[in-house]
Amino acid sequence: MSRGGKGQKHRRGKGTGGTKTHADSSRGRPTHRHRRSSPLSSDKMNDIVEILQMRGHHFLWIGNELNMWDIPSELLVQKSLSDQAYGNVLCVGYGLGLVQGYLLENPKVKRVVTIERYQCVIDANKNTFGKLNGHIVIGHFFKPPICKNFDFVIGDVCADIMPRYLPIYKRFKRKAEEYLKPTGKFITWCGDFFEYLIKGPTSSAWYEQET
């Protein structure tokens, strides 16, 4: 599960290629780099997926976008999400594998599956940490569900807690329901805020002001 560095995330194509060791003095310690070639409309761009280490913490960069980090405050958020889960759990996006690691420690959880769009994100984690957490499926969350009997879906929906992201949250939640059992539950780090906007009497005014 990954989060944009307080900026909007961008959808990109699937990765294609090899790895090499790279030192970037402006970002952190040497790490493995994974290059992916991606279509954006009629153009193409190359993104580097890197996991860099600084002051004992890891930072996942996708191109110029800081996507995930393992600083203490983030670990608390991921642990809180994992503590709510039980049964068969689907994680949307691998990130740094933080919530997956906590889910595997949760005795109420039977199985942890992650659907990750980009193989290069998985490769970067494997090369950096030497192992992966849970079962991983390379695929697109918004395509037909890989399975429809999950008890929990955990997804990192939006880059920030702002009313302008409410339509994204609603779309994500609708899709998550396709993966869930009738009694299943979808949770995310910002879910309480967006559910308040949906149910609150002032939600439409907030949304219109932000957009």
Q: Give me the tens of pLDDT residue by residue for the chain, a chain 211 residues long.
A: 545 433 333 333 333 223 333 334 345 554 455 544 333 322 333 578 999 999 999 999 988 888 899 999 999 999 999 999 999 999 999 999 999 999 999 999 999 999 999 999 999 999 999 999 999 999 999 998 888 999 999 988 777 788 888 999 999 999 999 999 999 999 988 888 888 888 875 545 545 555 4
Domain that includes residue 186, residue range: 72-199
pTM of the predicted protein model: 0.74
**Does 123 share its domain with 165?**
yes
**Does 106 share its domain with 193?**
yes
Number of domains making up the chain: 2
**Does 83 share its domain with 180?**
yes
* Residue 4 counted as domain residue: no
* Residue 191 counted as domain residue: yes
* Residue 206 counted as domain residue: no
Q: Which of 28, 44, 69 is the last residue of a domain?
A: 69
- Give CB contacts under 8 A, 24+ apart, made by 131-137: 132/94, 132/97, 133/97, 133/100, 133/101, 133/103, 133/104, 134/91, 134/97, 134/100, 134/103, 134/104, 135/111, 136/94, 137/113
**Does 32 share its domain with 115?**
no
